[in-house]
Each structure stands twice: as C-alpha cells, then as structure tokens.
Amino acid sequence: MEAKKSLSEINERIRDGSVRVVTAEEMPSIVEELGPDGAVREVDVVTTGTFGAMCSSGVFLNLGHSDPPIKISRAWLNQVEAYGGVAAVDLFLGATQPSEDRGIEYGGAHVIEDLVSGRAVDVMGEGVGTDCYPRMEIETTLHLEDLNQALMVNPRNAYQRYNAATNSSDRTLHTYMGTLLPHFGNVHYSGAGVLNPISNDPGFEYIGTGVRIFLGGAQGYIVGPGTQHSPGTGFATLMVSGDLKRMSSEFLRAATFTKYGPTLYVGVGVPIPILNERLALSTAVRDSDITVPVVDYGVQRRDRPVLKSTSYAELRSGFVEINGKEVPTASLSSFHMARMVAGTLKKWIERGEFLLTEQAEPLSKSGVSRPMKQTKELPYVGDVMNRDVVTVGENISVPEAARVIVGSRFDHLPVVSDDGKLMGIITTWDISKAVANGNISRVSEIMTRRVYTATPDEPIELAARTMDIHSISALPVVDKDNRVIGMITSNDLSRLFAGRRSI
Amino acid sequence: MKLMLRVAPGIVRKPLIASVILETGALINIERASIDAVSGEIVLDVSDDKCKQVKDAFERRGVDVVLLEIPVMRNEEECVHCGACIAICPTGTFRFDDWKVVTDPGKCIQCGACVTACPHRALQLVLR
C-alpha cells in the first residue's frame, strides 16, 4: 500500500512540535536511503527557497486621504513614478521603474527597500481636480508605517528554472543576466536548482492558488500562476502576494544591472508537505536533473539561439563547455540566500509559527508564453538597403579608391577579397587622411579591418542601434558567407522615418 | 604584491619600467596600463622579496607608488553572495566558498570590471 498522510496530520505535528522538516537540499539523499515510502514516513515537510533578481515585482500602496482630498493621477516616490490610475490614493509601484533624478541607479526596487528599511520616502502627486477630489497637488513625506496598506503583488516570481546566458558577439553586453563578455567569455545563470520551489513540485501536486509561502521575510501567498507561466517548457512561474509591512530588507534587496536598470532581489520559499510518494520523489530532485538551455544573448532577437543544454550541476561546477572551450560560469541569484530562505522557513515550521494551507486550485499545467502579435512592423535591412553597392579589391591604390568613391554615391567603400568576402572598409575620411599624410599606397594599408555589418534579415532597429553604439553612419550588408550584398546608411534610415511621417 | 604607479606628466615618456628592471633585476609583470600623453596609471605585479626595492627605485624616479594591499573592497552589508563578480574578473579575485563569495585581494589588478558587474553596488576600488 502506498505511504501517504494528510495535510491536517502534518499541521497537527507542527502544532505539537513533532514535525520533521528538512530542506530540499537534504531530501535527495533521504529518498535514496529510505526509498519514497520510507521518506513519506520520515519527512513531513520539505522547504524550498530561491533568492534572485525578480523584475516582475511591485507594491500596491494606499496613502490615505488628504484634506482637501486628491484623486492622484500621477505620482512619484523619491522621484520614481508610480502608477496612479488605480483609485484616488492607491498607487502601484513597479520594481524596475527608474528614478527621474538619479536614473537607473535608483528605482522602484530601491523605494521598496527604503520603505522596508524604515526610511522616509518623499511623495509627490498630481490630481485631476473633481468636485469630490478638488486638490490638484500633494507633497508629503511618508514612512511604511504611515501607509494604510502596502501590499506586495508580484506578477511573475520564482521561475522554475532560467536560461543560462552567454555572448557570441565581439562586444561586452550589459543585460539583465549581468555583464556578458565577448566571444563566449562567460556564462551567467540564475535560479536555485535543487532548492527551487517549482522544480521540487513540477506536477503541482501541492503548489497552487492559496498556498502559504515565505515571501520577502514574511508569510505570503501564491495568488496563482505567474505571467508567462509555461510549465510545458519547464518555465512555470508564480504570482505571489504578501504584506510589505511584515517583510525584511534581508530578503528584499534592490539592485541595478548596469545599462539595464533597477530590479528587486526577492526571497521566495514554498513548503512542500510530503503527502505521498509522488511528492517524496519530486522533492528528491537534484541539480543534475534540472536542465537549462545555454542561450546566446549576442543575437539581439526574440528567438535567441540555444547553444546547448546544461544542468544546474554543470553550471555550479564553475565551467561549461561551449564549442570545445571551458567557459567560466557564475551565478546572478544567490544560493547562499536561497539556503537562508529554505532554512528560515524550516525554523518557522518547526517552531509552530507557520501552518501549511490547502491549495484552492493547483497551478495550471498548461500556460501561454506566446510571442507578441505585431501588426505594425518596421521593415528589415534587406528591404531598405542599397543593392547597387560598389566594392573594391584589397590591392588597388588609394588614388584609385578615391576615384571610385567620387564616382559612386557612397562615402564608404567596402574592401573585399578575390572571392568577394568582406575584408575591411575605407571612408572618404580615411582617404583624405592618407593623402594628407602623404600615404598613397594600397587601400589594404589604410582600411579599417574591424567592420560592423548588418544582415538582410535583421530588423532596421538593430542596424540603427549598431550605427548608434559605434558612432558610424553606414554598414555593409553581408550574406551568411560574409559576402557584401548591399549597404545601409544612416541616410537610408532618416529617409525612411521622414517618409513615414509625411504620409 | 601589486604596485600601482601614478606617473606624472614629464616623465611618462621615459623608459621607467625598463630601467627599474635593469637596476633591480626584478621580474615585473605589467597587469594593467593606461597611459596617455600627459599621465599614466600602471599596475605591476612583483614578487614580495623584490617589492620594497622596486618601490624605492620607482620613487627615486619621481613616480608615485601605492601598494595595493586591499585593491577592492566589498561591502558585506550590500553583498548578497550572488556571484556576478566571479566570472567577469580576469584574474580570479573572487570565488565561492560554500556558496559565499570570498575575495583574494592579492589577485586584483583594479580593472573595475567587477564594480560595474555587481548588481548590488557592493564593490569599490580603493584609491580610485
């Protein structure tokens, strides 16, 4: 007969102090030793935990009514805009909103941390002016205790697992996965692996709406599946809620990813009662069982290439092999803090301070994370580029190149090898400089060999960004064999946008 | 031991490092150098036994020398031990020890990569 027990039996043991709680890190060896049936008899609750950047976080704040009353349409807390379109004095402050005075170094997440730490926050509001809410402006300074309610509601937290990120391109990228060095210089990952809440109950045997959890150092609840919940692909998420007034700045930490923006590091832990052997087995998951795609963030498109599949065990080893090379790995979420979350939740349960709730409904086993339907597309490079591009060979002289430039419409001349592959580029400026210096030898000696290029299938926004980042005004367009098939210039883009406006 | 040289305008174009190597016989590794027309900042690695001799030799040549004993400081209050500093450091200054980040200050060359990579702004270069 299958070993099982009920949630009320477990809560009874929590009340009388006889409950046996272990963290998800300890569970694999217990199940290995005792078998799933033995583990059900031995263990009552497995605690999980995760602590990482959870951008999709925020708080509903109720400020109370002023005299005369105001219906706030726009509001700023420490110069960070909060959404004022909820009701008269209810605001929603999102973690990733940057401040208007300090930029991304301070944002919504930092306001939340300041509030939790007991610091004063300057509030500014604009009203619409109505018969019931005549006031037009408000300025005040508030502490967390001055707010009627401060309710954390995070639309998407505690990803089941997360992509590991690397960068094939030749420049350093600053992303929400941290600094990614060029030419696969590093791999960054996020997530607590063996301790991850959903990875320990991927079938939602227990995890569901109404389940009491650890959130930011306090007791919170699972509201339901999070946005982009996609259990079919192993990327399930949670929407969670809790009382900010009870939370602690130890488990809610503001952060800023350079050149990306502010975010909030949130501690989330879910207790999993070992009601049956299925739960004993799912909580026996190890780092090596949880696979993670290694994704190339060097490709700035929605569907970034997946280079390989790895596991949390390999990521934690410090190296992942990519194209035969050992690439160093590092984490962006904190496993140390995930342990603190799981350990704190364990203590609460052992002390009888935390009772487990029955789920009102399991999380949905299907979810939708479709790409955006785009009804108004900007064209691709191939639609806009000049196809009548003029190229020159490496061995022609500078005066010859000058004659070609004068005879063509371009200020840029791609230099190609005998088989048509892009080798370099020269500009009118390069030629002027060479002539001024008395250097009129071959173009191969004066050309720029580091050429930024575009491909015909990339959206023009990306080509425009490449030109903007490198302060250049033209890009050769190359095919997959690096042969020059066109040119796109900043003039082409200007014409495109000017033309659109004039229609 | 790491030394940071601050080279003033006027002597920046002299073969300072070469002459110090010849004088002291020290094996000097240049770990980072940023030199322009008017000034320069160079980080050297020198074996501990030659360190004093090399420092004195540079100072006689008018170079401001600072021993980088604690090149990078971590604010323990801010650090959450995520590890964002680990893989981007070119010299392996940071590593996990039981999933807490530990620092080996002797390896730091003050390139600053970790400072921008730290999401919690817990790292700071000393003397910069």
Contact flag B119-A53 (C-beta cutoff 8 Å): yes
ipTM rounded to 2 decimals: 0.86
Provide CB contacts within 8 A for B10, sequence distance 6+. none
Task: Determine contact: A215 vs chain B, CB below 8 A.
Answer: no
Contact flag B99-A335 (C-beta cutoff 8 Å): yes
CATH of B2-67, one of 3.40.50.300, 3.40.50.10310, 3.30.70.260, 2.40.170.20: 3.30.70.260
Of A215 and A437, which is predicted with more confidence?
A215
Catalytic position from the list A1, A132, A406, A498: A132
Contact flag B117-A337 (C-beta cutoff 8 Å): no
Contact of A42 with A30, CB cutoff 8 Å: yes
**The pLDDT of residue A423 is above 50:** yes
DSSP secondary structure letters along A61-104: EE----SS-B-EEEEEETTEEEE--SSSSEEEEETTPBBSSSGG
Q: How close A157 comes to chain B (CA, Å)?
A: 17
Q: Given the structure tokens 């976080």, which residue do they identify? A: A57
pTM for the complete prediction?
Answer: 0.87
Contact of A104 with A78, CB cutoff 8 Å: no
**The pLDDT of residue B128 is above 60:** no
Contact flag A333-B82 (C-beta cutoff 8 Å): yes
Q: Which two tokens stand for residue B17?
A: 């490092």
Task: Determine contact: A331 vs chain B, CB below 8 A.
Answer: yes
> Do B2-67 and B72-125 have matching folds?
yes
Domain made up of B72-125: CATH architecture: 2-Layer Sandwich (3.30)
Task: Determine contact: A262 vs chain B, CB below 8 A.
Answer: no
Distance CA(A268)–CA(A479), nearest Å, equals: 47
**Closest alpha carbon to B70 in B118, B4, B126, B5:** B126
Beta strands A325-331 and A187-189, pairing class: parallel
DSSP state of A482: -
pLDDT tens, residue by residue, B73-119: 899 999 999 999 999 999 999 999 999 999 998 898 889 999 999 99
Provide CB contacts within 8 A for A502, sequence distance 6+. none
Task: Determine contact: A256 vs chain B, CB below 8 A.
Answer: yes
Q: Which of A179, A256, A336 sits opposite B88 (nearest CB)?
A: A179
Which residues in chain B have their CB less than 8 angstroms from residue A333's CB? 82
Q: Which residues from B are below 8 Å from A when comparing CB atoms?
A: 80-88, 98-100, 113, 116-117, 119-121
Contact flag B120-A337 (C-beta cutoff 8 Å): no
Mean pLDDT taken over chain B: 89
**The pLDDT of residue B1 is above 60:** yes
pLDDT tens, residue by residue, A382-416: 988 988 888 999 888 888 888 888 888 788 999 99
Domain boundaries, chain B: 2-67, 72-125
Tell me the average pLDDT across B41-49: 88
Q: Which of A19-33, A362-376, A410-424 has the highest mean pLDDT?
A: A19-33
Contact of A332 with A52, CB cutoff 8 Å: yes
pLDDT tens, residue by residue, A122-150: 999 999 999 999 999 999 999 999 999 99
Q: Which of B99, B113, B121 sits opposite A256 (nearest CB)?
A: B121
**Closest alpha carbon to B54 in B34, B31, B29, B91:** B29
Which residues in chain A have their CB less than 8 angstroms from residue B113's CB? 179
For the question of residue A55 being annotated catalytic, the response is no
**The pLDDT of residue B9 is above 80:** no
CATH 3.10.580.10 fits A381-501, yes or no: yes
Distance CA(B111)–CA(B101), nearest Å, equals: 19
Domain boundaries, chain A: 7-54+153-362, 64-147, 381-501
Q: How far is CA A203 from the centre of its chain?
A: 25
Task: Determine contact: A6 vs chain B, CB below 8 A.
Answer: no
Which residues in chain A have their CB less than 8 angstroms from residue B116's CB? 174, 179, 258
Q: Given the structure tokens 């487990």, which residue do they identify? A: A356
Shortest CA distance from B115: residue in chain A: A258
Element (H, E) at A57: none
